[in-house]
Structure 1
Amino acid sequence: MRAWLDPERIAARGLTASDVVGAMREQNVQVSAGQLGAEPIEESDFLTLINARGRLETVEEFGDIVLKRGEGGEILRLADVARLEMGAGDYTLRSQLDGNNAVG
């Protein structure tokens, strides 16, 4: 994910690029899930799995990251101060011709 920050919008809201990066790191975490009622609890009558959502994946999910909450209840989100776009996971190039390696 790429976030192209608008420095004027960020400064106008009293934030810095470090504040934005911190919010992105804080709200895009991978969490471990588990079970309720599993060992080491003795003689449990139930076993419930805990399913937790992991890392963010889409532009919309990243755009919803909360950067700041105002006193009047207004919420500043990443999409309000940045242009977001999905980038390639890998920028290497592999060329083939008729199933054989070739020069690109």
Structure 2
Amino acid sequence: MKKITLKIPLIHILSIILFYILIKVSMETEIQGKNEFAELLYGMTFFMRHDIITLVFGVVLIIPFLLLILSLFKKRRDFIIGASFASLTSILLIIMIFYF
């Protein structure tokens, strides 16, 4: 049972890293050679223009918080640790996309 609970946060972290790389590559190709203000503006409007990416972003962020709530109700320590770790990586994803 412990192997399954450890794989879930690892799969989530790998999907977050892959999603982050894809977002950064697509943003960098669009803003190459522009000034810093245009780069900031494009980063803020990127998710408004790409519906599918916004949907994936929402799913990647919401799933660990739902798992955390479910694990708190079931009072399983291993699920609480795994879901907390996945939730923290989701918060880091938000910070990395908007500030780096």
TM-score, normalised to structure 1, is: 0.30
* Structure of higher RCO (CA pairs closer than 8 Å, 6+ residues apart): 2
From the two aligned structures, give the one with the greater strand fraction. 1
TM-score, normalised to structure 2, is: 0.30
From the two aligned structures, give the one with the greater helix fraction. 2
Work out which of the two has the higher radius of gyration on C-alpha atoms and give 1 or 2.
1
